[in-house]
Chain A
Amino acid sequence: DTGVSQNPRHKITKRGQNVTFRCDPISEHNRLYWYRQTLGQGPEFLTYFQNEAQLEKSRLLSDRFSAERPKGSFSTLEIQRTEQGDSAMYLCASRSTMGGPGYTFGSGTRLTVV
């Protein structure tokens, strides 16, 4: 169990640029989640994958956001035309269907849009 890995750890980008984050979940975990955390707030749900299928998306996920999980392995979260309001910590988490409801979170990608 190597944990949930997220890359990059930090990303600084100019407003209007596109960014992509990667998440490698724990290998036997079929459920993968993306959350966003802003300063002073708890993590907010963005989207959920079961294997390669994206089964739920939050209203927070505007048209500029897209997430994929090809072949049910790693996942990517892309933000197009970034805005300053996108600055946040993006957290990925995974769990097994057979396990308890608790997730294993990665360390997150901190995005700063300047």
Chain B
Amino acid sequence: DQQVKQNSPSLSVQEGRISILNCDYTNSMFDYFLWYKKYPAEGPTFLISISSIKDKNEDGRFTVFLNKSAKHLSLHIVPSQPGDSAVYFCAATTLGTSYGKLTFGQGTILTVHP
């Protein structure tokens, strides 16, 4: 079963606008969430994370929002830049168990047009 889902396979945004990438999860044991960015022929790169005790975490142009009741999180990129074009993966884990195993979504391809 797909415990972490990214229902939008792709997203196209104009440079300077906001990009919003969404992620849903089903496992209520997940208590830590991460976003990774992946360029072709490279491994995923950690971007930003959030603990379930928070509902928002911000790092520069990147903000992650967590809605625990809806089991939903989103990544906002403002302003979007062409260099942000990549595949974005949402991942979840349960701290203190599972040895830090991450469960990933299917990914969303973000294209930022100049």
Contact = CB atoms under 8 A, between A and B. Distances in A.
B105 A55 contact: no
B80 interface: no
A103 interface: yes
Interface string B7-46: 0010000000000000000000000101010000111111
Interface residues of B, number: 27
B49 A50 contact: no
A43 B44 contact: yes
B20 to A, nearest CB: 19
B102 interface: yes
Nearest to B32: A101
Contacts of A93: 43
A45 B43 contact: no
A4 B43 contact: yes
B64 to A, nearest CB: 13
A95 B44 contact: no
Interface of B: prevailing SS = mixed
B98 interface: yes
A85 interface: no
A99 B38 CA distance: 21
Contact of B98 (A40, A56, A108): A56
A31 B43 contact: no
A105 B100 contact: no
The residue among A45, A55, A102 with the most chain B CB atoms within 10 A of its own CB is A102
Interface of B: 4, 6, 9, 32, 34, 36, 41-46, 49, 89, 91, 93, 95, 98-107
11 contacts: A40-B9, A42-B4, A42-B89, A45-B103, A50-B99, A56-B98, A56-B101, A102-B34, A102-B46, A103-B46, A107-B42
